[in-house]
Amino acid sequence: MIPSVLPTYNRAPLAFVKGEGSWLTAEDGRRYLDLGAGIAVNALGHAHPALIQALTEQAQKLWHVSNVYTVPEQERLAGLLTAETFADTVFFTNSGTEAAELAIKMARKFHYDSGQPERTQIIAFEGAFHGRSTGAIAASGAEKMVKGFGPLMPGFTQLKWADHDAIRSAITDQTCAVIIEPVQGEGGIRVVPDQCLKGLRDLCDQTGTLLIFDEVQCGMGRTGRLFAHEWAGVTPDIMMVAKGIGGGFPLGAVLATESAAKGMTAGTHGSTYGGNPLGCAVGAKVTEIISDPAFLAEVARKGALFRQGLESLVARHPAVFESVRGEGLMLGLKCKPAPTDVVKAGYAAGILTIAAADNVLRLLPALNIPDADIAEALTRLDQAATNLLAT
């Protein structure tokens, strides 16, 4: 009999009842160190007092109004984001997938309004993940996501990951945009080299192609900069944000330059919940905290500290771990066994991690994880690796 909850996930038999900082408590009272953070969503850990305050203060005032009215909480968050980034304008969504949909629409509309309606083709990359809508799965093209769901939205090609020559020859007079994660998350914590992002920006400039960065997972401070592309010193025309921006409240955003957004006039796009006052009140608090340079410097320091510990972990367990990758607190351990087995061994050791493609175990702790919890994480990962070899 089909479960009452549609079984599209291989769920672990773990149910949590309470969260605090980097820790989750299960129904049976056992505590787990959370290095998944809801897949980079709980950027400030669980139950952060400032977020609880922002949420409850807004909840007592106003939950929801339609986007047919002016929403001051949206304007406030949009102001914070445009002040901190390349962007001139922001549209709020409830998820990363919805941000992908708008990014695609915006890019196509840009060329349509520029008198080049034939420029509809979007170049994406192998291993990419942009969400689960029919458009977003078409962008990724991965067989496990698209099989059985055709016909897919046309107009996407996937190139080998970060292959500059392939990109150069793939851009034609039909090309609309290139969409890329500066650090692939689901794809296995693959950091696009700075040189490659720079080269991509140049190619896009030379050909009038729009550059879309998907920073749904790698953005909002995750790599030690507010957005991962800042490390390369280049900016996109359009950027998707979600996950960490709501700190656990469903919120996403599309950021764009004035030029890229020029086609998105009244009536061309919308969302009932997108930019809801509750979400934006929380998002503004999250953004305020994370965009503080002192906070970001701490993320980078903690990332380096964690990474150093992980390097010794790899050295101690060469039969389980191969190497460390990533940037800031977006870290991956390349595994010898299936990463799902390591995740399971982690459950037994009281630590939560997330598997990714390319045989990588993802570590995405809260950005404010205390140093002591990083040390505890290393101890528990060590225990998980030891137990894994013993079985």
Ligand X SMILES: *Cc1c(COP(=O)(O)O)cnc(C)c1O
CB of 95 to ligand X, least distance (A): 3
- Window contacting ligand X (CB under 6 A); options: 92-100, 283-291, 306-314, 347-355: 92-100
Hunting for tokens 């009281």 — which residue is that? Answer: 350
Cβ proximity to ligand X, 99 vs 281, nearer residue: 99
CB of 94 to ligand X, least distance (A): 8
Distance CA 308, CA 300 (A): 12
Cβ proximity to ligand X, 181 vs 237, nearer residue: 181
Q: Going by DSSP bridges, is the β-strand pair 23-26/16-20 parallel, antiparallel, or unpaired?
A: antiparallel
Q: How many residues bind ligand X (CB under 6 A)?
A: 15
Distance CA 107, CA 327 (A): 29
Residue whose Cβ sits closest to ligand X: 96
Inter-residue contact 171 to 203 (CB < 8 Å): yes
Inter-residue contact 37 to 43 (CB < 8 Å): yes
CB of 368 to ligand X, least distance (A): 20
Q: Is 217 in the site for ligand X (CB under 6 A)?
A: yes
Site mask, ligand X, residues 224-263, x = CB under 6 A?
------------------xx--------------------
CB of 282 to ligand X, least distance (A): 15
Cβ proximity to ligand X, 99 vs 210, nearer residue: 99
Cβ proximity to ligand X, 241 vs 349, nearer residue: 241
Largest CA distance in the chain: 65
CB of 27 to ligand X, least distance (A): 25
* Torsional sign, CA 274, 277, 282, 283: positive
CB of 42 to ligand X, least distance (A): 14
- Window contacting ligand X (CB under 6 A); options: 16-24, 213-221, 305-313, 349-357: 213-221
Site mask, ligand X, residues 124-153, x = CB under 6 A?
-----xxx----------------------
Cβ proximity to ligand X, 214 vs 298, nearer residue: 214
Distance CA 234, CA 258 (A): 17
Which parts of 153-192 interact with ligand X (CB under 6 A)?
181, 185-186
Inter-residue contact 370 to 21 (CB < 8 Å): yes
Q: Is 95 in the site for ligand X (CB under 6 A)?
A: yes
CB of 117 to ligand X, least distance (A): 27
CB of 181 to ligand X, least distance (A): 5
Cβ proximity to ligand X, 96 vs 350, nearer residue: 96
State which of residues 97, 175, 235, 368 lies at the interface with ligand X (CB under 6 A).
Answer: 97
> Rule CB under 6 A: which residues touch ligand X?
95-97, 100, 129-131, 181, 185-186, 214, 216-217, 242-243
